[in-house]
A and B are shown apart, each in its own frame.
Chain A
Amino acid sequence: MARLKFLCDSDRCIECNACVTACKNEHEVPWGINRRRVVTLNDGKPGERSISMACMHCTDAPCAAVCPTSCFYGTADALVLHDKDLCIGCGYCFYACPFGAPQYPRVGNFGGRGKMDKCTYCAGGPQQDNTAVEYMQYGSNRIAEGKLPLCAEMCSTKALLAGDGEIIAAIYRERVQQRGFGSGAWGWRTAYKQELTV
């Protein structure tokens, strides 16, 4: 069975933020919540590189381990999803996550921390697939539609890969062989306990 992963080819990423706005568009994510972000290292200097980051859907996800209400669950596709009905907005998962993925909307008059939101790998949540209520709580469910995350599908330079971990690793290897360089699959060791060897 396929293990779904993300891989950002930082030798391609140009920090255009298509991935970010595609995500906003697909799920109508409100202002202030960013399921995906692009981080630039060495901004403005030789060696400048950008990486598009979101929840990596880790193996043995640390967020799930610390959640006091056990709202996380893993799917057969190896996605890490969660149930907002159980979430109490405690913020533990944010501290546990190595990628800073969990986000909390400010709610109420005093801007208290609302229920956690994060990248769903465009796979919705624990409501029936593609129902209105699933959309309300988690956004759309492209995986159930036979598609892939829109952020990767729309990436301007084909830097952001998503899908079957084996296939995207093969695509990346092919690229590195063709061009003769590659700075590696960023975040893979942390998320998937594995390096990508070329």
Chain B
Amino acid sequence: MLTRRSAGQAGRQRLAAAYQGLASGGTDRREFLRQAGLGGVGLAALGTLGTQVARAQVAHTVPDRAVPARRIKNVCTHCSVGCSVIAEVQNGVWTGQEPAWESPINRGTHCAKGASVREIVHGDRRLKYPMKLAGGQWQRLSWDQALDEISEKLLQIREKSSPEAVFWLGSAKFTNEAAYLFRKFGAFWGTNNIDHQARICHSTTVAGVANTFGYGAQTNSYNDIRNSKTMIVMGGNPAESHPIATQHLLAGRELNRSNFFVVDPRFTRTAAHATDYVRIRPGTDIPVIWGMLWHIFENGWEDKEFIRQRVYGMDEVRREVTKWNPEEVLRVTGVPEAQIKRMAQVFATQKPATLIWCMGATQKTVGTANVRAFSILCMATGNVGSAGTGCNIFRGHTNVQGATDLGLDIATLPAYYGLDEAAWRHWCRVWQVDYEWMQGRFASKKLMETPGIPSTRWFDAVVLPRDQVDQPSNFKAMFVMGHGGNTVTRMPEMVKALEKLDLLVVCDPHPTTYAQVSDRQDGTYLLPICTNFETVGSRTASNRSLQWGEKIVEPIFESRNDYDVMYALAKRLGFADELFKNIGVKDGVVVVEDILREINRGTWALGYTGQSPERLRLHMANQQHFDITTLRGAKGTPVEGEVYGLPWPCWGTPEMKHPGTHILYDNSLHVKEGGGTFRARFGVERNGETLLAEGSYSKGSEIQDGYPEFTVAVLKRLGWFDDLSAHEKEIIGRVGGENIDRVSWSTDLSGGIIRVAMDHGCLPYGNAKARALAWNLPDPVPMHREPLYTPRTDLIPSLDQAAVLAADPNAPAPAGTYPALRDRRGFRMPHLGLTVQMRSHTVAREFPIILTSGRLVEYEGGGEETRSNKWLAELQQDMFVEINPADAAERGIRNAQYVWVLGPENDARVKVKAMITERVGKGVAFMPFHFGGWFQGEDRRRFYPPGTDPVVLGESVNTVTTYGYDPVTFMQETKVTLCQIRSA
């Protein structure tokens, strides 16, 4: 997969003819726009507007003054903050947006995206009807015909190549109900090859944090940051990515006169508002954290009591940390001792302190280890489990948290039950289908219990030699619902794989990059899906709060919602009756509330059980009664004492009225008030040492020490078994069969075990220590490993040393070097590490600049939707690369001219404008990841179905990003690779 291709020839010829860019003189990135002027590219693009569907008819009709505006509340679909959107609707048309003062999350405000969501729904660039590519031409067809053809092809592939030959790619833009339904759909189809954007967003956070504390999610909330005395943002840029979160950060900063550190290779817009900015070399997060801990341990600033009671394995961390003295930290990260020491002291002593992170931490070959190091810093300083502290992990998409929780993932069923037989049996009981029938849907029981192929590698599973992919067939088809085609690295290889697929189906409001980036001629189908403003459902914000969105308008054009399309397809594939056994469908219209009720009946292990549609609607109707800092409902209101959006875990049945959990692992509260302990997930003892908490327990707990998770056996030992009602016992009896002792809180479909545990003040999942040492991970204690493509070849083994390492699995790393993991296999595929890292020795000279990528405020994700929104598109009309003035001067590059950014794999190259700025340090370049529609210098606008091309197109950064995957989740490396930049 690393072989060089001789493509790029065309690109090089065009290079000669390329015209020189605009005159320089820009002061900020929007200067490009001003230079473009009124008649510039953007406007020209608008002029190519295709269809006139609505326009002609709507010209000035006589206003109807009798129709009052209806106010309908939904939730912004652009990020995980979850801002309420208030729509005013008249005659079925969305005519205005008003501020939602009452939302405790956004208090009326939005960022550029939220303030313009109305345009997405009007969307004259949206896909209007089903289309297919036949002989290189886009043809319109009816829904029925499209679905008939698609399902027929799917069934043929299933017949010939097994169900594993289809890759199902879902979305973090799904509602919870759609995410769950799609995961279930994958199961009923008979594969675990079903994934979504969490893979490329926070999969490493989920893995890392869950392996530390028990659950993989933001521990506190955006609002709770208003309590923090110290904030560190490391690998995140909330001012652009989560602007409304920044409202709370800045308010907190002002209220508490807090310390506000930003640690980042770029001086971001967030850094501009920080008290301290710390510039690091990309890819050196662990050395920075260990460098801080070095000072903390050296000076005894750690929280000893917290560690003693609630942390397992901190001594092993201490041992690793001793290596990271100030000199070594400076050598590797470039950060001077004084900065590290100040940050360490402030974080450990000016509490409460919170660590905020985003994809700068997660999208790395060491993502899981990074996130674990971050969590360990919080634990060591006692900054977890109380107000103002915590790992405030800002997730990306609007519902990436919920879609992850509901198992839209290759490695687990909903609610992190995993894929083992017990998990399948649990879910089969919830779904009321026969376990043996379910097993029959799969090619084998082994495949049923083996994680599938992740979204970062699906294209390798198309093109790799047959014997390299551990399943009955390579991928022959891909079915995409709501996922961009330009957000995954190594695009040139992806394009090759696209061209090999027999069938490609894209279900989305927009055609996406997939529709145009390859030279496919046949077998591509585009199905228009409506936005979440045109349907109902809940979404889970980053802080675990669920918010219910109401339908604002009917789906426009011929678009349909996700649910109904899944139903129509399942019907044709022959498993609709089973899939919808407990979910109402009336005339092809799915009852969305029924899906949430089924989620409520199955997700005991995560506490998605108390959030009934009725309770969620009550919260949306009573938003004004929630406190902006504590998120608690005020006394005397219908939501008294409850936390806004019933953040999971919301234990037991809705009738138990659990208030939801604002802050995870907070033992100052009773479990019935949302209190918690660390989860007992990894056994009770290891090497003779207890894994359970010592002398620490949540308020009101009758067991005043650590305890394991609850099962019938545990209840019996405690003498609490007869607290269960007869009805609960009967259900437990049905679940357990012969051996009811093994029925646990997470498989008991009655919720009785949870109820009894809570009645005794106990957490159903137990009370354990958090793990500083996670023995099941490749690096049980996080270790620094240089990025695969690093300019610091002095920090990686020489070729000879690497050969020794590769030959001997136990050979230690040569002194002073930080090698990547050895080549291995995972997720049915080969996974290279050290071999690729060795390429740095040859390419680092030719590609001397570190390339990193990230987000802009006006666009989101792959950007098809936001670049099609003319109010947003106008703000950012060009793809660009940020270059340090010194690097630009060396290359004779002027501001705003076109440059080629060349990548070290595939002869890849992108043509973008140069933005010369000190925002990036010397030797570092940055590109945003929202652009698409150009490929290696070619403008591919004409390959979109007419009238659906986004207003703004540009090169995708992922055309030049490279190989590199986290060993635990196959997260892609987007933050550190190498490049060269030349004048175009």
- Whether A and B touch (Cβ < 8 Å) is answered with yes
With A25-B116, A48-B269, A153-B108 as contacts: A16 and B99 at CB distance below 8 Å: no
Report which of A24, A31, A132, A155 forms a contact with B43, defined as CB distance below 8 A: A31
Report which of A31, A44, A175 forms a contact with B254, defined as CB distance below 8 A: A175
* A52 CB to nearest chain B CB (Å): 12
Expressed in whole angstroms, the Cα–Cα distance for A155 and B110 within the complex equals 6
B119→A25 contact, CB < 8 A: yes
Expressed in whole angstroms, the Cα–Cα distance for A81 and B109 within the complex equals 26
Expressed in whole angstroms, the Cα–Cα distance for A46 and B43 within the complex equals 34
A14→B246 contact, CB < 8 A: yes
Expressed in whole angstroms, the Cα–Cα distance for A57 and B253 within the complex equals 32
Expressed in whole angstroms, the Cα–Cα distance for A154 and B269 within the complex equals 19
Expressed in whole angstroms, the Cα–Cα distance for A44 and B277 within the complex equals 12
A179→B42 contact, CB < 8 A: no
Which residues in B have their C-beta under 8 angstroms from that of A83?
none
* A46 CB to nearest chain B CB (Å): 7
B857→A44 contact, CB < 8 A: no
Residue A3 is within 8 A (CB to CB) of chain B in the complex? no
Residue A59 is within 8 A (CB to CB) of chain B in the complex? no
Q: How many residues of B contact A (CB 8 A)?
A: 55
Report which of B29, B112, B254 forms a contact with A18, defined as CB distance below 8 A: B112
* A40 CB to nearest chain B CB (Å): 5
Residue B111 is within 8 A (CB to CB) of chain A in the complex? yes
Which residues in A have their C-beta under 8 angstroms from that of B63?
132
* A138 CB to nearest chain B CB (Å): 16
Which residues in A have their C-beta under 8 angstroms from that of B857?
14-17
Within 8 A of A (CB), among B235-271: 239-240, 243-244, 246-247, 250-251, 253-255, 257, 267, 269-270
Expressed in whole angstroms, the Cα–Cα distance for A20 and B243 within the complex equals 14
Which residues in B have their C-beta under 8 angstroms from that of A40?
27-28, 30
Report which of A21, A175, A178, A180 forms a contact with B871, defined as CB distance below 8 A: A21
B243→A16 contact, CB < 8 A: yes
Residue B96 is within 8 A (CB to CB) of chain A in the complex? yes
Residue B430 is within 8 A (CB to CB) of chain A in the complex? no
Report which of B39, B112, B251, B919 forms a contact with A111, defined as CB distance below 8 A: B39
B246→A157 contact, CB < 8 A: yes
* A69 CB to nearest chain B CB (Å): 24
Q: Interface digits, B310-321 against A, CB 8 Å rule (1 contact, 0 not)? A: 000000000000
Residue B632 is within 8 A (CB to CB) of chain A in the complex? no
B96→A16 contact, CB < 8 A: no
The listed residue with most B CB atoms (<10 A of its CB), out of A12, A25, A158, A175, is A25
Q: Name the residue on A nearest B101 (C-beta).
A: A153
* A55 CB to nearest chain B CB (Å): 18
B115→A48 contact, CB < 8 A: no
A26→B27 contact, CB < 8 A: no
A48→B112 contact, CB < 8 A: no
Q: Name the residue on A nearest B266 (C-beta).
A: A44
Expressed in whole angstroms, the Cα–Cα distance for A24 and B120 within the complex equals 13
* A145 CB to nearest chain B CB (Å): 10
Which residues in B have their C-beta under 8 angstroms from that of A140?
96
A14→B273 contact, CB < 8 A: yes
A156→B918 contact, CB < 8 A: no
With A24-B871, A25-B871, A45-B918 as contacts: A156 and B111 at CB distance below 8 Å: yes
Residue B933 is within 8 A (CB to CB) of chain A in the complex? no
Q: Name the residue on A nearest B60 (C-beta).
A: A132
Q: Name the residue on B nearest A103 (C-beta).
A: B38
* B521 CB to nearest chain A CB (Å): 35
Question: Could you name 9 residue pairs across A and B whose Cβ atoms are closer than 8 Å?
Answer: A16-B857, A18-B110, A24-B874, A150-B99, A156-B109, A156-B110, A156-B243, A157-B246, A180-B257
7 tightest CB-CB pairs across the interface, nearest first? A44-B919, A179-B254, A43-B28, A17-B112, A48-B272, A21-B116, A14-B239
